[in-house]
Amino acid sequence: MIECFFDCSSPWTYLAFHNLRPLAAELGEEISWRPILVGGHLQHREPLGL
């Protein structure tokens, strides 16, 4: 089982979706898609002091 955490607003999600599916099929693995809100996680963190 491949567990993939993704945010629909991320361009990296698009790349992962189209590249991970063939890889999972080749390996005979299923993908468990887990939606998250990256922006929500970042709001709870302290600024880096920049």
Phi, psi of 35 (to 5 degrees): -70, 140
- Could you tell me the residue ranges of all domains in the chain? 2-43
Per-residue pLDDT reduced to its tens digit, 2-42: 999 988 888 888 888 889 999 999 999 999 999 988 766 66
Decide: pTM greater than 0.75.
no
Q: Report how far Cα 26 is from the mean position of its chain's Cα atoms.
A: 20
Alpha helices in the chain (DSSP H): 11-27, 38-43
